[in-house]
Structure 1
């Protein structure tokens, strides 16, 4: 038996570890096209960008982990094709890699700008450690002007760090508010104020039209309104794209990612997909969902390992994620909707509060700022579908932590 894993990010490395923890005794081959040892991505837009930040990415596991767990890690290997009939992974160099079970955990790539001027020097993305190295070199130049395209997690995380380092930061986004896809309007308002206090200039309803430059170097960004924003360099955060060509050529069904069932199985026998590229059925969302979070990647990896090891378990985790932006640690449990009823606990003027979101009188999500105890309790409540009532949420003296402790573990 041999389990082959394509992609050595959070999902792929966790899958290798979880297979061993589940008692899988076959071979494990972990393939990754990057030449780096597997590393953590979340710090790249935060701590990695700070002045004096560690120049080496934080490893996902120590170098001894792979031989100790009998994992054959192969970096700098690009997968060219999957031969479903022969159960082989065809790579760019070397012999094909046979598999008994195949896990696709290749993640996603940063969406590249396709407009005029996108080839200019001084335009950065922030997805890989190579991207981060190039961007940090720009940031380390000192005082300057940076234009961030996209007011999502990564764009705003970098914007906060850059502002704290003394750069003049401008953010544009075609949406109406920051982090619009995942936050309620009232929480977005809080982050508008926070970034304003950091000195970040935010412009919404303003998309990217094109870049302008001189002698091959970026000098400005022109928005869809026609406004030109002068800058010394730019960071583009237009989301991600998945590589559907490889799985589609193998007969694997895709729809903006690889379609899987509740056991993370594709339509092709012995092939699974996990992490950023997996589109899975979610009762919490009410349909198919694709999530780009570390939590989703690691929990999917643990789930698929159970299935391969002979102890199948459906993937049914309530989503949670986080973002550090300046002095604010934002943590979200569940999936919010702009129409949800918002009940706030704590005091936002102190920078420590939570918003409890109700839909049809049921707790569906909790957004917390610098309130880790609320977040932990919320995750437990949502996982057990034992949400508090709206009346309890409104009662500022209600002991949420104590209530959560009454719920069973696991």
Structure 2
């Protein structure tokens, strides 16, 4: 699409939607842009919610992608506190929660994902929380502190980040994980053991192999989490962090192809040539791994925004990127490049006891993924190797006395 007067409607004002609006103007789109978001504030960075926001080191203004005035100054009609309720693909109309409709020439779905709720008794008690929005983070920050106990259901990255921030706020923290180890679905055992030991050193306690079957409460307020073995873990608040599901209901209802998210091509275009999907809601191609996958990360949101903005403005598609993400916990910076698909060997470079090491996931002599703790060179060169699909010498990769630049050369 290269119609400079086209009306672009963006449904979802998260990182992906906000970036797409800004990039459309940056790439020269002159037509009207409408950005619809369910939250009352403009697009903002979400990763710091579980870290800087909880610790009082960030707020809505400091995390905003752009100042509020940016949108008016650039002719972007930002409509907060509004949700889309239906899409009529034949008429090219989006129905909104306030009863109005928007006609579009190009539609970008950036509806993100929602936290998965546990379908167990007591899930509606006060104090049972999630962490997906600024409002969630503000509520949690006001709830936990010295003399309080926070239970975190789920030992993934979000759960561990919340645990670290809870300790920084002075709360006692217990993490409840149904699997036998932390990060069981997203990381290798080396990383699981490392993070468990670091969190325990900061006073976090863990219950592994512990399935939550009910939330207990008094006067409508949560007081504990009952486990499958009959024990109840007392607490003043709970954060449920057991994953997220794509907000793909709009796409399903209007007949777009959906499979674990809205199916898109390398231009972020859906099965309807006038509709794109980006960010957490998109089920997108991963040429490096020869598969489709849905990702939840800021780099993924930005890449999708670039792809859609380029397609709509007629620019060449951006070069493909190696997926990456990060997690901050205490003084630890974890940087992850790629995904550990079809891995047949795991190689550790450096000593985990030093707090500075990297785990490389290999398929033959190709690097599929790298998890780097406080090790930027391993992350950067590992990312390069993944993208280049360049065979690596395993002996040299395992030897930290050989620089990563030499290994990747």
TM-score, L = length of structure 1: 0.93
1:1-400 residue pairs with structure 2 within 5 A? 1-50=6-55, 52-56=56-60, 58-93=63-98, 95-140=100-145, 142-313=146-317, 316-337=320-341, 339-400=343-404
Give the direction of change, closer, same or farther, for the CA distance of 1:240–1:166 in structure 2 (3 Å limit): same
| Distance in 2 of aligned mates of 1:312 and 1:224 | 54
C-alpha RMSD of the superposition: 1.9
Partners of 1:265 and 1:225 lie apart in 2 by 48
Residue pair 2:87, 2:95 contacting (<8 A) in 1 also: yes
Q: Does the 8 Å contact 1:184/1:336 carry over to 2?
A: no
Q: Secondary structure at the match of 1:333?
A: strand
Give, in whole Å, the separation in 2 of the partners of 1:197 and 1:362. 35
Structure 1 stretch displaced more, 23-32 or 333-342:
333-342
Quickly say closer, same or farther: Cα 1:88–1:273, change in 2 above 3 A. Answer: same
Runs ≥4 residues deviating over 4 A? none
The alpha carbon displacement at 1:129 in A equals: 0.8
- Tell me the distance in 2 between the aligned counterparts of 1:15 and 1:6: 11
- How far is the alpha carbon of 1:65 from its aligned partner? 2.2
1:183-223 per-position Cα deviation (integer Å, ceiling 9, x unaligned): 11111111111111111112222122111112211111012
In structure 2, list runs of 5 or more residues that go unmatched.
Answer: 1-5
Q: Give the drift of 1:14.
A: 1.1
When structure 1 is superposed on structure 2, of 281-290 and 271-280 the one drifting more is 281-290
For 1:296 and 1:30, the matched residues in 2 are separated by 19
Gaps of 5+ in 1: none
Per mean C-alpha deviation after superposition, the further-off stretch among 128-137 and 16-25 is 16-25
Shift of 1:56: 3.6
CA distance in 1, matches of 2:209, 2:316: 46
Give the deviation of 1:173 after TM superposition: 1.4
**For the Cα contact (< 8 Å) 1:362–1:389, is it kept in 2?**
no
Matched with 2:3 is none
Q: Is the 8 A contact 1:3 1:28 kept in 2?
A: yes
Alpha-carbon shift at residue 339 of structure 1 (Å)? 5.0
SS in 2 for 1:103: strand
Are 1:355 and 1:367, in contact at CA under 8 Å, matched by a contact in 2?
yes
Does the Cα contact within 8 Å between 1:275 and 1:298 map onto a contact in 2? yes
Offset at residue 338 of structure 1 (A): 8.8
Instruction: Give the number of equivalent residue pairs.
Output: 403
